[in-house]
């Protein structure tokens, strides 16, 4: 019986997918009345260029951000709302928060974070808690 247990645990240990640990930075944003969360790999935050709104235009324009979302989703998109925000706890780092119509979703839209490097990261809409 011991050999079967050992065999069972060996199979489980060897068959589990091995994934490299990638530390991620969590962005929690309130967009309209929704709480959204996006997990951005630290390497992407490091690639994100710094920007000072008082000195220059953003490294990624609004049109570039929309084009990046179109390429990411690979389907036609309808943009509902766009905001530009500073990345929390990262001075000089900015991102776009973009709401896209999506009738297949529960909330009827999807939300994306577009970094100033052009990287698109889908955000998760946290469900409302019931009281």
Q: Name the residue ranges covered by the structural domains of the chain.
A: 20-126
- Residue 119 has a pLDDT of 93
pLDDT single digits (tens) 61-85: 999 999 999 999 887 888 889 999 9
CA angle 123, 64, 35 (to 5 degrees): 20
3-state secondary structure 75-123: CCCCEEEEEEEECCCCCCCEEEEEEEECCCCCCCEEEEEEECCCCEEEC
Q: What is the pTM of this model?
A: 0.75
- Residue 65 has a pLDDT of 94
Mean pLDDT, each 10-residue run in order, the chain (131 residues): 68 58 76 83 87 91 93 86 89 91 72 92 79 55
- Residue 33 has a pLDDT of 77
């Amino acid at each position: 019986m011991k050999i079967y247990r050992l065999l069972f645990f060996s199979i489980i240990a060897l068959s589990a997918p091995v994934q490299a640990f990638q530390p991620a930075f969590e962005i929690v944003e309130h967009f309209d009345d929704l709480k959204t969360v996006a997990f951005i790999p630290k390497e992407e935050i490091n690639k994100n260029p710094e920007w000072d709104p008082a000195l220059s235009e953003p490294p990624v324009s609004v049109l570039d951000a929309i084009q990046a979302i179109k390429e990411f989703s690979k389907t036609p998109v309808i943009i509902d709302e766009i905001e530009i925000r500073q990345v929390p706890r990262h001075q000089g780092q900015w991102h776009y928060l973009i709401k896209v119509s999506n009738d297949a979703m529960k909330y009827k839209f999807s939300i994306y974070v577009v970094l100033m490097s052009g990287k698109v990261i889908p955000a998760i809409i946290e469900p409302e808690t019931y009281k």
